[in-house]
């Protein structure tokens, strides 16, 4: 099995406009999916991320601009195990909020140094 990072991408304006009840419903839906992944032996870890961000480059830290103020941002991640990239993508495609078009998921293999 190989390791993959699932980067959860969400529209930040949608998140900002959600009621507390809507937010809790989304969290419960994602938690149930994570528990399903764990039960199947795929989930290694995962966490939601706060919406605040900084974009850091040599000699510059941006708290605004095209990256820090992007419409879409990474709102969380999962670290999973899967057979290959296609298998990891199929796992990501089973995410209920993705199927409801609330989020997008970027699937990235971890680079393993031998």
Residue 114 within a domain: no
Give the model confidence (pLDDT) of 57-105 as tens digits. 788 776 655 544 456 788 899 999 999 999 999 999 999 999 999 999 9
Give the model confidence (pLDDT) of 9-56 as tens digits. 998 788 889 999 999 999 999 999 999 999 999 999 999 988 777 778
* Residue 13 parent element (H or E): helix 12-17
Q: What is the CA radius of gyration of the chain?
A: 15
pLDDT at 72: 72
Cα gap 113→3, rounded to integer Å:
13
Judge whether 97 and 30 are in contact, CB under 8 Å. Answer: yes
Give the model confidence (pLDDT) of 58-68 as tens digits. 887 766 555 44
Cα gap 63→38, rounded to integer Å:
35
Cα gap 21→64, rounded to integer Å:
29
Residue 101 within a domain: yes
Cα gap 47→49, rounded to integer Å:
6
Residue 45 within a domain: yes
Q: Please state the domain count of the chain.
A: 1
Domain boundaries, position 102: 2-109
31: CATH: 3.30.70.1060
Q: What is the pTM of this model?
A: 0.86
pLDDT at 28: 94
Which of 25, 7, 15 has the alpha carbon at shortest distance from 104? 7
pLDDT at 68: 46
């Amino acid at each position: 099995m190989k390791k993959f990072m699932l980067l959860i991408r969400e529209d930040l304006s949608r998140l900002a406009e959600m009621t507390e009840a809507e937010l809790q419903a989304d969290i419960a839906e994602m938690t149930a999916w994570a528990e399903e992944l764990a039960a199947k032996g795929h989930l290694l870890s995962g966490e939601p991320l706060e919406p605040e961000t900084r974009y850091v480059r040599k000699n510059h830290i941006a708290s605004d601009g095209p990256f820090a103020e992007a419409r879409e941002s990474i709102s969380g991640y999962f670290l999973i195990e899967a057979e290959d990239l296609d298998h990891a993508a199929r796992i990501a495609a089973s995410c209920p909020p993705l199927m409801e078009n609330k989020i997008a998921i970027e699937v990235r293999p971890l680079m393993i140094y031998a």
